[in-house]
Amino acid sequence: QVQLVESGGGLVQAGGSLRLSCAASGGSFSAYTMAWFRQAPGKGREFVGSINGGGSAVYGVEFVKGRYTISRDNAKNTVYLQMNSLKFEDTAVYYCAAKPTAVWPSYPYWGQGTQVTVSS
């Protein structure tokens, strides 16, 4: 059973930066595709981006403009989400997710989420 624990959320002023971390345990982390999602109040869950075991990242349509960067450290079983130039509308709960391979149809493993609040 894979367990995911996010950290790094908090309150930040608009224009600031945060780096979220997601520590994984219980699986073959280096083989897993890891992803970040977010859910803003009153909205559905959005796909932020994912990164495969080899470190290649892809981003959701709304997140390809370079403010967000996903990376991973397989030695630490951790995936990161660097968020820069934060905007009020980035306020959301951010979730880490994992799936065994890149072609797995869905993400069976999820963290509990970490709140990011951007003040305007």
Per-residue confidence of the chain (120 residues) as pLDDT tens digits?
899 999 999 999 999 999 999 999 988 899 999 999 999 999 999 999 999 999 999 999 888 778 999 999 999 999 999 999 999 999 999 999 999 988 888 999 999 999 999 998
Per the CB < 8 A criterion, the answer to whether 91 and 32 are in contact is: no
Q: How far is CA 119 from CA 17, 85, 104, in A?
A: 12, 12, 37
Q: What pLDDT, on a 0 to 100 scale, did the predictor assign at position 102?
A: 86
85-100 per-residue burial string, b: 16 or more CB within 10 A, e: under 16: ebeeebbbbbbbbbbb
Per the CB < 8 A criterion, the answer to whether 48 and 54 are in contact is: no
Q: What pLDDT, on a 0 to 100 scale, did the predictor assign at position 34?
A: 97
CA distance 35 to 32: 10
